[in-house]
Amino acid sequence: MKLSIIDQSPVPAGSTPADALHNTIELARLADRLGYERYWIAEHHAIEALASPAPEILIARVAAETSGIRVGSGGVLLPHYSPLKVAEIFRMLHALYPGRIDLGVGRAPGGTPLDAFALRSEREHEPPRDDFPQRLLELFAFLDRTFPPDHPFSRIKVSPVMPGGPEIWLLGSSLWSASAAAQLGLPYAFAHFIDPEPTRAALEYYRLHFVPGRVPAPRTILAMGVICADDDAEAERHFASTRLFRRRIRRGDLRPIPPPDEALSELGSAREPLVPSEFPRYVVGAPDKVVPQLTAIAEQLRIDELMVITVVHDHGARMRSYELLARCFDLASRAAR
């Protein structure tokens, strides 16, 4: 099974956003050496705990710091941006790093309604109409140069002009995104770590209704949380930071990722009730516990690739988690072959 990484550039308490961005670069270098398939960078706005509102900037830096791993967005939040500008940015990245750039596109706001309003260039309509499907089709037409001859935009030559282009993925966590990816013939990345409840239904709907388009057959990524450590107790300790961070976010508290001791103290002994779901949002433990769970989930959902997100306070523990996974799934030798 292929393994990849999605990185939100988490800011540990006591560190700076600049530290978090350098952590992203260091982790990407490690992922490249370990044999991970791709490294995607998320987009979030006005959240103190997450340091990357502009994934295209980090993509350029990460691609320059690596040599084999695919690098991309997880994802560009298209409702905020002009399709032409997104096409230009990712054609530029493709020209610099041909064959290695992924354009993951999402529909979510990536912040609060106020953040989304501030990001809009046109503010006459409140709330704005949902024109995501039209924006997506326009983006394809700019990237592929496929506007009809009588369309005004057909005269626009998107530069730089290069053979090929970025690989486009549709990101989502709902049946709507599954339906859109199927109808448009796009590869589909499901954000299980955001909403685990519709995972199976969305992936099955996507496969059942897929119409060949940009890819000839369904292709799927499942993005989920994983914390792997040398023993279960250590993994659970680091997971306390994740649990408290997620609880704070739900309450509108956007502070950086807390250290484990602070998290354990604030959380107390009682576990919050789990949202009912067929598969866990996060898999946590030593390799002998984590690997069988991930393998079983991948087999049951018939996914092509697992994309791992690890949000903990200790950057060294985050690096170690990815190292253990790479070793257990034998990524380096597979990459060499």
- pLDDT tens figures, 166-203: 999 999 999 999 999 999 999 999 999 999 999 999 99
- Is 131 in contact with 179 (CB distance < 8 Å)? no
Closest CA to 6 of 37, 52, 51, 42: 42
pLDDT for res 275: 58
Six-digit token string for 11: 């800011």
User: CB-based contacts of 49: which residues, under 8 Å, 6+ apart?
Assistant: 10, 11, 245, 249, 254, 255, 256, 257
pLDDT for res 111: 73
pLDDT for res 273: 57
Domain containing residue 58: 2-336
Looking at 15-24, 243-252, 312-321, which range is the least confident one? 243-252
The CATH number for 76's domain is: 3.20.20.30
Question: Residue 267, exposed/middle/buried by CB under 10 A (0-12, 13-18, 19+)?
Answer: middle
CA-to-CA separations, 249 to 96, 109, 252, 265, 293, in angstroms, rounded? 37, 15, 5, 18, 27
- pLDDT tens figures, 35-56: 999 999 999 999 999 999 999 9
CA-to-CA separations, 15 to 18, 24, 48, 90, 258, in angstroms, rounded? 8, 13, 11, 31, 11
Region for 106 from its dihedrals, namely left if φ exceeds 0, alpha if ψ lies in -120 to 50, beta otherwise: beta
What share of the chain in percent tops pLDDT 70? 93
Is the confidence at residue 127, as pLDDT, over 90?
no
Pairwise CA distance, residues 146 & 87, whole Å: 13
Six-digit token string for 163: 């053979």
Backbone φ and ψ of 68, nearest 5°: -120, -30
Six-digit token string for 125: 């309509």
CA-to-CA separations, 288 to 30, 227, 263, 302, in angstroms, rounded? 22, 13, 26, 22
Our count of domains for the chain comes to 1
CA-to-CA separations, 190 to 112, 141, 155, 321, in angstroms, rounded? 22, 24, 36, 22
274 — pLDDT class (breaks 50, 70, 90): low
- pLDDT tens figures, 57-84: 999 999 999 999 999 999 899 988 999 9
pLDDT for res 109: 74
- pLDDT tens figures, 154-176: 999 898 988 999 999 999 999 99
Looking at 6-15, 110-119, 224-233, which range is the least confident one? 110-119
pLDDT for res 268: 87
pLDDT for res 118: 83
pLDDT for res 337: 56
With H, G, I as helix, E, B as strand and everything else as coil, classify residue 20.
helix
pLDDT for res 121: 72
Pairwise CA distance, residues 308 & 223, whole Å: 6
When the pLDDT of each residue in the chain is averaged and rounded to a whole number, the result is: 93
Pairwise CA distance, residues 215 & 187, whole Å: 7
140 — pLDDT class (breaks 50, 70, 90): very high
